[in-house]
Amino acid sequence: MSATKPAPSPSATMVRCAQDWRRRAREQTIISLLILLVALVALLDVIRPGMVSLNWISSTLLYAAPLGILAAGQTLVMLTGGIDLSVAAVATAAGYVMASQATAQGDARAVFFGLGIAAAVGLVNGIGVGVLRVQPLIMTLGMSLVVAGFLTVYQVLAVASAAAVPGFVTAVGSGTSLGFIPNSLVLWVPIAALVIWGLRRSGYGRLLYAVGDNPTAARLAGVRVWEVLVVDYVLSGLLAGIAGIDLAGLTSTATIDLGNSFLLPSIAAVVIGGTSIFGGRGGYGGSIVGALILTVLVSLLTIIDAPEPFRQVLYGAIILGVAAAYTRVVNE
């Protein structure tokens, strides 16, 4: 600091501090998200002292797992500038088909069926978006109508065979080991590790960012964009299928509206987590924290004992508020 310059006024220092904080927040968005998460948990503990315990953390993770896995697929798709509106329908289909086929086909084959359907829907989405150049929004929305329609018809046909969630699926979805470690981490942790590693280190991960950032440049650089997109949507479908089966295990039941309430949260988790809906920017780490924030938010809204309408209004308003704050920080 040179003596010739006048000492900065307090307000200027504050402005610089704020700018500094903004810059840091922009570079380390995940840190500010973690701070928000911790603040929410602290608020929960203030409202209901003693609530936050190992058991609470364990059940929160159990509830966050399906959303977190759905958000993984949604992240992969959004990084290419797409969106997958069929994740909820696909998750429901995988969970329901798995449960309704378990008695007749055996547990392992039923799970395989569920995942197969999920991957098949993802493949159709991928071909539509990648090869036939349909806008992702329309393609996945159309497929979600198709899947939901087929599922309604299938439910009428399959009504004879009672839906039963296999025991090991329930154990993974809702059980804990060693007292408090949630079993669904067996699914979620490897998926998270693979997605984060894949996005940062693998060639395919780089291609996703490249396609999302500038598809034309990617194509001119010799990337076969359609192949990248087809694989991307198959992965998203498959992850939605895994999430649906995990969800069936969590609730121990399978109905044809199993995953319907997860569509907005899966998008919100990714957006809150800092992945741009226009593609090319973001990552799965933020989406994980986003999924945790949304799950804690739901339990916060549950314990303040507000009536359901208020909870819905607050939930929507808070998602919007966080997304707005986030956009402001990033665009500054």
Partner 1 sequence: MSSSAATAIRPAQPGALERAVRRNGWTIGLYLLLLAFLLFTKLIHESFGAFDIETLAIGALPLALAAAAQTAAVVAGGIDLSVGALMALANVLAASLMLNQSFGTALGIAALVLIMGALAGALNGALVVATKVPDIVVTLAMSFVWGGVALLVLPHPGGGAPPEFQALASGRFLTEWVPNALVVLVLSVGLIWYPLQRTRLGLSLYAVGSDALAAFRSGVDVARAKIVSYTVCGLFAAAGGLALTMTTGIGSPLAGTYYTLSGVAAVVLGGVSLAGGRGGMLAPLAAAYILTIIPTDLLFLGADPNFGQVIQGAIMVLVVMAAGLISLRRSGA
- Give the binding site for partner 1 (CB under 8 A): 83, 128, 132-135, 137-139, 141-150, 152-153, 156, 264, 267-268, 271, 277-278, 307-317, 319-320, 323-324, 327-328, 331
| Nearest distance, CB of residue 318 and partner 1, angstroms | 9
Overall size of the chain counted in residues: 332
Q: Residue 142 has which token pair?
A: 């159309």
21 Cβ neighbours under 8 A, 6+ residues apart: none
Orientation of helix 225-251 relative to helix 185-201, angle to 10°: 160
Which C-beta is closer to partner 1: that of 51 or that of 141? 141
Residue closest to 91 by CA, chosen among 303, 309, 249, 271: 249
Which C-beta is closer to partner 1: that of 37 or that of 134? 134
226 Cβ neighbours under 8 A, 6+ residues apart: 130, 131
| Nearest distance, CB of residue 148 and partner 1, angstroms | 6
Which C-beta is closer to partner 1: that of 167 or that of 316? 316
Quote the CA–CA distance of 69 and 238 in Å, as a whole number.
10
Which C-beta is closer to partner 1: that of 67 or that of 192? 67
Which C-beta is closer to partner 1: that of 232 or that of 246? 232
Which C-beta is closer to partner 1: that of 197 or that of 278? 278
Identity of residue 26 = R
Q: How far is CA 45 from CA 42, 165, 166, 213, 300, in A?
A: 5, 34, 36, 41, 10
| Nearest distance, CB of residue 145 and partner 1, angstroms | 3
| Nearest distance, CB of residue 25 and partner 1, angstroms | 17
| Nearest distance, CB of residue 156 and partner 1, angstroms | 7
| Nearest distance, CB of residue 222 and partner 1, angstroms | 22
Quote the CA–CA distance of 11 and 96 in Å, as a whole number.
60
